Structure 1
């Protein structure tokens, strides 16, 4: 098993301060049983978060910052690249933006709970505008994301949705000259959605309206990977609290993971099975794994290993 825990040490000040208060006995014991490998480095300023880069690597997906070909991979799986080709794909995510005094903030799109009917109705209402001026074709994917194909997306770096969910979007908007048409399209869609019946219904039910969209997942696939994908069990139970910098909820989520997934992993390690654990923050990800060591090496490691709090503070 390769257990991958994202949002293990978010940069929000509340969660950072809460690290010192965490009590994670199973993780502490695992740190004494597993051996760290060289860390992978990231930055909170990149378009592609470190956790997303690691998941892409496990699947054999490569690309520069902001150009991991997630959308093109989905299009390949649906057979759509046989129609349009591999280059020029993007994810389009309906979202809710809130203007503030000096910035525009996006609510977490996962909290919108868009129904299938709403998703289809909005896509049908918006697709004409995408097609007319920008030559962009929309295809269904999920209730929260559509696939889009258009020349404008080719080689256009875009910020991951994780960068803007529960955050200001201003610094993450594409600024390239050929992206100005997309900014104009965004304004047109805000006007269309403002009075749309779907939003009237959502407002009547006390739900947030859908008043914009976010573009991500751009990139062109490279050669097929020579190695099979690495099976990685992604634990994202820390995500919501981390994005909101809710320290109390984040600590409770960590305790739940320690009591369940990490307790299971520890039992497996003690049973002599080969296991891996990756803890991923914004700046650093550390992978720990079982390695054969002489008995004195195992004893030495247990006495020299940092605590879970010390390790998380380095991420």
Structure 2
């Protein structure tokens, strides 16, 4: 099945900067009309594009309560969450979560840290399982109704007491584990090796995607999430996205295929959809140069 919905998460723009979309994107928008908007409050624990993906897959869209770990691993009936070993940057007046993707934690180091942490988590009825470098699947009743902040929302911003309390659900076991892991990781050989290579030490963990699924829930086809703007050179990413739009999405839209495009920022996601040809013909002049000022509101 061909994808019919393109979702592009937009990174935060520098202060004072105005996003200028490539002409290919403007042309595609010119063949579409607004088809729904999702707004989130400033203190939402989930990014708008994460909620769009959750809605597409029929998952819980209450911010902070989408059971991503259960969904992504096919775990049914057992509450679970993702545990991400991470680095907290401690300043004079703040603590911030460093981007886990920059830590380059390989599979061997990730599992070594997990094996050291296992007995401590087990004391609170939490079983850890290695799944991929830099992420552990954690299973335990504590995760059933836990409201968590996504890594995308938490990374790079000061970790407030409210965020930390939300990420542990005011659960004394999880709060204690945070302190225990800080001490355990501080003396772990893996961190000695990392620091000898000039890498940031692992000094904490972050909980995301908590919840449970009552029945098997397969991913629904049809959506492509293009996350290239979140990594690497934004100019190169825009160029690659523009090329894909020109070769794949524009011809299909021009042929009258039913397609959707969602552009998602820090606070909102705006969806557009192609219109029936008869409608498009009536509005062709008005839409020949799409108005992209809405991007400043995402």
Where in structure 2 are there 5+ consecutive unaligned residues?
A: none
- Aligned-residue offset at 1:230: 4.3
TM-score of the pair, normalised by structure 2: 0.88
The 1:49–1:23 alpha-carbon spacing in structure 2 relative to 1, beyond 3 Å, is closer
Q: Does the CA contact (< 8 Å) of 2:27 and 2:289 recur in 1?
A: no
The 1:252–1:228 alpha-carbon spacing in structure 2 relative to 1, beyond 3 Å, is closer
Q: Which residues of 2 match residues 46-61 of structure 1 at below 5 A?
A: 46-61=44-59
Take 2:89 and 2:246, find their aligned partners in 1: how far apart are those partners? 38
Q: Does the CA contact (< 8 Å) of 2:64 and 2:209 recur in 1?
A: yes
Q: Does the CA contact (< 8 Å) of 1:122 and 1:198 recur in 2?
A: yes
Q: Does the CA contact (< 8 Å) of 2:27 and 2:288 recur in 1?
A: no
Q: 1:93 aligns with which of 58, 62, 84?
A: 84
Take 1:271 and 1:177, find their aligned partners in 2: how far apart are those partners? 50
Take 2:205 and 2:44, find their aligned partners in 1: how far apart are those partners? 21
1:206 correspondence with 2:198: yes
- Aligned-residue offset at 1:303: 5.2
| Number of the residue aligned with 1:289 | 273
Deviations 1:134-186 (A, max 9, x none): 22111122112111112222211111111111222224212577423212211
Take 2:185 and 2:276, find their aligned partners in 1: how far apart are those partners? 59
Deviations 1:273-314 (A, max 9, x none): 3322111112221222221143641324325741x3x12112
The 1:258–1:44 alpha-carbon spacing in structure 2 relative to 1, beyond 3 Å, is farther
Where in structure 1 are there 5+ consecutive unaligned residues?
A: 242-248
Deviations 1:2-46 (A, max 9, x none): 1110126x3x5x1x53225x2521111112111221222223311
The 1:74–1:264 alpha-carbon spacing in structure 2 relative to 1, beyond 3 Å, is closer
Take 1:250 and 1:92, find their aligned partners in 2: how far apart are those partners? 29
| Number of the residue aligned with 1:232 | 223
Q: Which residues of 2 match residues 1-315 of structure 1 at below 5 A?
A: 1-7=4-10, 10=12, 14=14, 17-20=16-19, 22=20, 24-75=22-73, 77=74, 81=76, 85-86=77-78, 88-132=79-123, 134-170=124-160, 171-175=162-166, 178-221=170-213, 229-240=220-231, 249-250=233-234, 253-261=237-245, 264-294=248-278, 296-302=281-287, 305-306=290-291, 308=292, 310-315=293-298
- Aligned-residue offset at 1:103: 1.3
Q: Does the CA contact (< 8 Å) of 1:116 and 1:143 recur in 2?
A: yes
TM-score of the pair, normalised by structure 1: 0.83
Q: Does the CA contact (< 8 Å) of 2:146 and 2:169 recur in 1?
A: no
Q: Does the CA contact (< 8 Å) of 2:110 and 2:134 recur in 1?
A: yes
- Aligned-residue offset at 1:240: 3.8
How many residue pairs match? The answer is 292
Take 1:206 and 1:157, find their aligned partners in 2: how far apart are those partners? 34
**Runs of 4+ residues over 4 Å off in structure 1:** 175-178, 222-225
- The structure with the largest helix share of the pair is 1
| Number of the residue aligned with 1:245 | none
